[in-house]
Every structure is written in structure tokens, then in C-alpha cells.
Structure 1
Amino acid sequence: MSNGPVGVALVGAGVISGQYLTNLNAFPDVRVVAVADIDTGRAAAVAREYDVKRSGTLGAVLALPEVEIVVNLTIPSAHAAVALESLRAGKHVYGEKPFAMDLDEAAKVTAEAADRGLRLGGAPDTFLGAGLQSALHALRSGLIGEPVAVTAATQSLGPESWHPNPEFFYQPGGGPLFDLGPYYLTALVSLLGPVARVAAGTRRARDERVVGSGPKAGTVFPVDVPTHVNALLDFPGAATASATFSFDSAINRRMIEIIGTEGALSLPDPNTFDGPLLARGLHDVDWRELPLSGTTAGRGIGVLDLARSIRAGTPHRASGELAYHVLELMSAIAESGERASFQPVASTLTAPEPLPAGWDPYAATL
């Protein structure tokens, strides 16, 4: 087994790569070796900006023996192809959401990794942040008794008012379910375990939308996906949940509330790594804020946990298994909305263990 920091290559030098590079460069247990992009000039510029020594095409980066993990930040339609090529080059893969565009692609990636004895990981890793980890500890401590019901919602008028190129949000693989759903569904599965079946109602408020900012402001573009989704989720032996994902709401809302037999928890926005985390007992008038423990280091802690787990030979938490289950949940919700029927969820998993007390991304352990 190798020792020392784990070599990482980023593939995809878009905007989000900056968040990953800032964080990964600060973690002593990983070493960013290279940046790849279909636009090699952009890859070189990003590599220079973040003091990464090498850049180039995907093939050139995969040929580097010191690369052990590929962090796949490409566009969603390329996620599976890049993952397969990386696995065939003998690299572990951690990918941005979604895991793949559909379950057939995801199954191919999963099978390839299993055949080669390689690991898969996937965003979001926000459930490893202090806010949701503290919520997990509160649940396991029995603070609110047994979970009974969950209400989750992410609602807004959609990203076209602020995003200069919002069209992809309204194409297959987008919409509020596939864009924001992974944060909420990953948080719920990490807290309550796998979902067995779902039911949903979906609608599309408008067939066209208008770019609201940037050089394309005023441009009309088509909407090809549902923009309002209401889903019911059945967690066997745990709770039932209702979840709303909407780009049609004048009410801005980002929330998860868990009702238990002895009280309730109000969780932080699952697209963040910190709080606040609130609790109340059965007869409390007001919420009280709970102290947080854990890291708020941000995107990339899932990659770091994967790296440390590779060295230790232990399971990692932001796993391909979890990402696949969440993708199947979203696919089942979309299908239920089309068929107006309950849809089973075939995959299952053991919910990830909490990060150990004192887990510090900035402390060298390898």
C-alpha cells in the first residue's frame, strides 16, 4: 500500500474547479498533480493560477503514474465517459453531481470500478460538513426520539434571473430535481438511510423562459423538464418525507425539518457546510440553536475522506453507492411524475458512518 499524500488530478477547469483547487491545495493529505480540460489553454491557465505543475488533455493526465484519484468536474453529459476512461487507466474517480445522466450509464461506471477493484465517490459532500454531521449526531443521540416525518423544500423563481447561461438548467438532467435535489436527497439518505419507494407529482409552469442578465439578456429559450416537483419518500423503518423542488415559487425557501416522537430538528441549507442547526422539544415555544462540531472546510472534503480511506483501507463516505442511490431516487421521482404511480427504488445501502470526532482536514495524517 502506498504512503504519503494521495495524488489528485482535476478534470474540467470550469468555474467550480476554483473551489476544489483552493481547498484541496490546503489539505496536506492530498496533492493536486495536474489539471485537464478539453480546452488545454484553459487547463493551463487554471493550473498556473493555483500553482499546479502540470496540465493538458485527459489522456495526458491519466498517463501520470502519480495520479491516484481523478476528480471529475466536467459537464454532466460527460461524467460517465470521463469516469470510464479514468477507471480504465487505473484511477479512482470522484465526480461532481449527478453521478451520471441515467441509471444505465451509472451501472456501467459502477461495474467497471468493481471489475477493476477501484473506488467511486461523488458529490455532494455537504453532508460531511459540521451542520449536517451535527444533525446526524443529534438524531443518533435520541434528542428528538424516533423520526416520524420530514419536510424538505428548495423553492425559488429559477436561475435565469441571475445566471448568464441558464439554458442547461432547463434541459434533461437539469430542472430543480436534478440540479438541487442531490443536496437534499443525499442529506436525507445520510441521516435516515435508503429510500424504498417514491411517488411524485410534477408540472412545468411555462414552456419558455427568458435570460435575465448578461450579454444574452432578453433571449427566450425552451423549457424541456418539469420545473415544480412534489415527492413522497418512504424510508423503511424510519420516517416518511415530503419534498418540494421548484423553480416556480415566489417564496424562496431552503429547509429540512425532521419531526420526531420527542421533538423536532430544523437543519441548515444542505447546500452549505455549516449551520444553523435548531431543535425544539414537544412543548417548547421557540427553537434553540445547537452547537456544531465538525468541519466547514467546503467542497473537496469528500475527496479528502476518499483519499484517507484509500490509504487506511476503510470505507469512504461520499461513495459511488450513495451517489447511485440518489440518482435512482431522482429517476424514480421523475418517472412517478410521468406515470402518476408509486415507483420502487431497487438499490439500497448502509448509511455512511459519521466522521470521527476531531476529524481535521488540515492535519496531516498520511
Structure 2
Amino acid sequence: MIPYGRQDIRPADIDAVVEVLNSDYLTQGPAVPRFEQAMAERVGVSHAVAVNSATSALHIACLALGLGNGDLMWTSPITFVASANCGLYCGAEIDFVDIDPVSYNLDPVALEEKLRAAKVAGRLPKVVVVVHLCGQSADMKSIKALSDAYGFHLIEDASHAVGGKYDGGYVGNCRYSDVTVFSFHPVKIITTGEGGMALSNDNAVAERMRLFASHGVTRNTEQMTKEPDGPWYYQQVALGFNYRMTDLQAALGCSQLSRLDEYIVRRQYLADRYDHLLGDTPVVTPVRSVDASSSFHLYVIRVAPSHRQALFEHLRGKDIGVNVHYIPVHTQPYYEALGFKSGDFPEAERYYQEAISLPLYPGLSESDQDYVVATLKEFFSS
């Protein structure tokens, strides 16, 4: 079957991991800080904190920004559930902002309308998590202006957008946010197996994220509440978690990062090719933002709701592993139990009824891509 996404592992990646296996450190060695520094330099940000998943990165980002009981966090309903769950982990209340019908990202117009009403009601969010769906940045300039006006923190969930660009810089530089989060899951742009990273230009926020990622334990005397007993001394100064990345993962990440440009060029080439090959079909192809360069983690088409399931099953029946990204979070049973219901965010629900993710990954051959398109056209010609 042709999958919708697939990792690209080469001998250099294997050699990098084997080198760690033959070293003195499997975890908490030199590979993790090396990976953090390489990513920070790549995107142009001051601090990078590598962790064991993007979900963990979202959690520590929320904690570092002070999100807690009684606070509100807003995000997009079209995302994986982790973008919302991270707020619940902190004891906050979750709400959603509908998506823009063109970009499928959080809609700044809908956000502004919701903020106006929330200000009147005295229920403004403390944190807004903005998801860069499929790898294309949301309209961060507009959202940052609203953040400044209404006083909330911004987290960019850029799990899809490693290597993407926005407003002349790399996604992850935190020019328009407090924290950016990356994912290194196998189907993402680069992989560490599982893994994530939280990036920030704020020294204090980065320090808190690093603390929360490692049990809340520090050996930094400046963070301690009393003089150490000796050179062996450590203190737990916060309630943290074991979210650390291993050196094995980081070594793989460093090796993969060296090919990031190659991966992005290939993904964008295949996306352009899809645009061309699907031009005479009734599907809606992705719209490119003039302010952003997508890393194209996903290539999502939209079809008439009456065709979506039949097309999905037709493609799957021909060994094409299409998928749907995503089921609106507010329609999940857990969130329905919190009071959300179908109809709350109509644009997100309309998107869900029409969306199909076609295969897209660096190793996708042109012949396999031609087969995907021919099979899709076969459906509409039958």
C-alpha cells in the first residue's frame, strides 16, 4: 500500500544512532544539546528544549506560560487532540476558534469576534494555541496583533511545519509567539522516532520549560532555595515530568536535520505536481499563502461531501493509504461531555466532511503519484 506518509531512514541515520549506542551515553549525553543547538540555529531562535513528544512540548509550554486552574485556553478544532488536551493537563478550560475556509488554519476574524465577546464577559483566554495545519503557517501577524491588544500568550503548534517559512523567516523563530512546538513523529518532516521540541526567545520561559521537562529537578544553584550540601546536590523546585529526549533520538534528529532542505524541496515539488495533475478534476487543492512557504507535511484535497466516503474507500481499495486530518476535536466524545456539540464550529465541520489527505512524503515516486491521481480520476469518470 502507498501510505499517506512515511519516514526516510538512510545509512547515515543508522550510523548516527549506532555511534551513540557505542558511546558512554544513551540519554542525557551530548547529542541532545547538540540537536537543540542545531535546530535553534537553523530557525533563528534563542532557546530549544528537546523532549519525548510534541504533546510533552505543548504541555511544558502551557505550564511555563502559567496556564492553570481557572484559566482559559483556545485552539483550533481542526488538529490532533493533543493541541487541546495540553490545556486540560494544566487544569484550564478549553474552547475553540473556527477555521479560515481557505487556509484551514485558525481564523483571525473569528478570533477577533470571539475575543470581543469574551472581553465583555470577562472570560479572555490566557493562552491561544495556533496550529499550522499541513505545514502552512497561520496568519501570525494578525493573531499577534490581537494577542498584544487582548493580553494573551501565543503558542504555535508547528508540529506539521518544521522547515516552513513565514514572513521572510523560518517557522520556529518565535517572532510572533511566546513558544513554538515541533513534532518529530515518523510521518512528520524529520523524525526522531518519537520526539518533540519547544522553542522560545524568552529566557525565563525556556528555563521553566527545561525544568518541567525533567522532574522539576535542578542542579543550578541559582534556582535553588538553599545552599547545596555538596557537588552532588540537586533540588526539586517544581512538580515536573520525565519528558526528556534520549541521545539515541537526538542523534537521529541531527542526522535528519542535515537533509531538511532536501525534504522540503521534494515535498513542495510533489505538491506542485499534484496541483498540476489534479487541475482538471472536481477536487479543491490547497491554497498557498503569499506570506508563507508550506513544508507540506500533508496534501489535503476537498471533495463534495456526497463523494468523500466513496472516494476514500475507492482509493483505499486500490492500495492507496489516504487518511483524514482531522476529525474536529470538539466532536470527540470526551469534549462533547464537556459541553461541546456539532454545529458549534461550522467551518471546521464543513472541512471535515470534505477532506482527504493524499500520499505525500519524500520517497513518494512520480509513478506512484501518477497512480494515485489516475485512480482518483477513475473514480470521477465512472
> TM-score under structure 2 normalisation?
0.30
More helix by share: 2
Q: Which has the higher strand share?
A: 1
- Greater Rg over alpha carbons, structure: 2
Structure 1 length as normaliser, TM-score?
Answer: 0.32
